[in-house]
Amino acid sequence: MLNRRRFVAVGAAAIGAALTRSGSAELQGGNEQNFFPLPASGLPSRPLGSTGANVSLLTFGAAHRWASMQQDSALQVLTLALSRGVNCIDTASGYGRSEEIIGNIMPQWRKKVILHTKVSTRNPMQWRTEFETSLKRLRVDYVDTLLIHHLGGPDDLAKLEVRDGPIELLHRAKEQKLCRWTGISCHTDWKTLLEAQRRHRFDHVMISLNVATGGYTDLGFEENALPVLAGQGVAITAMKAMGAGKIVNAHPEYDYKTCIRYSLSLPGVHSLTVTMPNFQQMSADVDVAATFEPLGADEMKELKTKAEGEVKEAFNDFMDTHTDRT
């Protein structure tokens, strides 16, 4: 059994006791000094920013639709995707049973995958407990990226920046080798994301990038955030390629293959997290990654132009009230 580490939370008034896992199931992971070597991928891959990892073009998005499957089926879909070369899993504490399901295969797969999870709470007193629960569910000693989940606007950033709050705890987790990299996900506010990155220098970001997220005055991630982050060597995982059901198949031009190719063709994107809720979708998604060819500039422009209007409005309206945190 590997030594379990303690996440020493400075500031007893805010956090109190250290994070321990003495009562958890057999945890698999690194030790006080080391992480497992970074895995390879059987699919086309890209360097994950400046992290030193090479990540498959597709990341397995273990979100609600996948986690709501029967456990045996969910595990079969996941393990088949990993067997086909996907080497990265994206989950979160708020994704229902997701972390628990993934934990079933970690004793066999931990050395072969890059694992990301997200902590949702803004409450400093609850933050360490939520993260501790994630590690127990996943049956690991560390995750590769630990992310703050779903950054909102300036008021939300202020909640994260309080003394001994989530951002300090996130960076402390990295110091204690409970994660390799720090990260943050953001769905709709590129300005707040860039301000958070300027102040706190996260290693990895997850951002919405699809045919409807462009436009300097709209969500703006493509034009405004992506070039800045890429220029800093930040690891960039795209999400919402399908538009949460508001883009894919909402127009004849936007089938799943086109949506995947668009997001992966954006300069600076290293991987795309996609939920794979059944065998058919998983197989189709992995096939696209295995044979990926980037879209040309004219094709990209045409797809964005056709998304103006109904497609873009439908996605933006949905995102106005959407949250992934629960």
Whole-number pLDDT of residue 21: 33
Q: Which residues pair with 205 in a beta bridge?
A: 184, 236
In this prediction the pTM is 0.89
What is the reported pLDDT for 322? 65
pLDDT at 29 exceeding the cut of 50: no
Is 301 a residue whose pLDDT tops 80?
Answer: yes
Q: How many CB atoms lie within 10 A of CB 96?
A: 18
Residue 14 pLDDT class (50, 70, 90 cuts): very low
Averaged pLDDT for residues 291-320? 87
d(CA 208, CA 204): 14
Task: List the structure tokens of 195.
Answer: 């301000």
Mean pLDDT of the chain: 88
Whether the CB-CB separation of 58 and 289 falls below 8 Å is answered with yes
User: Residue 58 — pLDDT band, cuts 50, 70, 90?
Assistant: very high
Q: pLDDT tens digit string along 133-153?
A: 999 999 999 999 999 999 999
Give the residues across from 56 on adjacent strands: 45
Burial 254-284 (b: 16+ CB within 10 A, else e): bebebbbbbbbbbebbbbbbbbbbeeebbee
Per-residue pLDDT tens for 80-134? 999 999 999 999 999 999 999 999 999 999 999 999 999 999 999 999 999 999 9
- Reading the block at residue 286, the tokens are 């992995």
196 vs 31: CA distance, rounded Å = 31
| CATH topology for the 45-321 domain | TIM Barrel (3.20.20)
Query: What confidence score (pLDDT) does residue 131 get?
Result: 98
What is the pLDDT, as a whole number, of residue 215? 72
Q: What's the pLDDT score for residue 31?
A: 43
Task: Report how far residue 172's alpha carbon sits from residue 9's, in angstroms, rounded to the nearest whole number.
Answer: 8
Q: Render pLDDT for 248-298 as a digit per residue (tens, 0 to 9).
A: 877 778 999 999 999 999 999 999 999 999 999 999 999 999 999 999 999
Cα separation, 16 vs 119, whole angstroms: 19
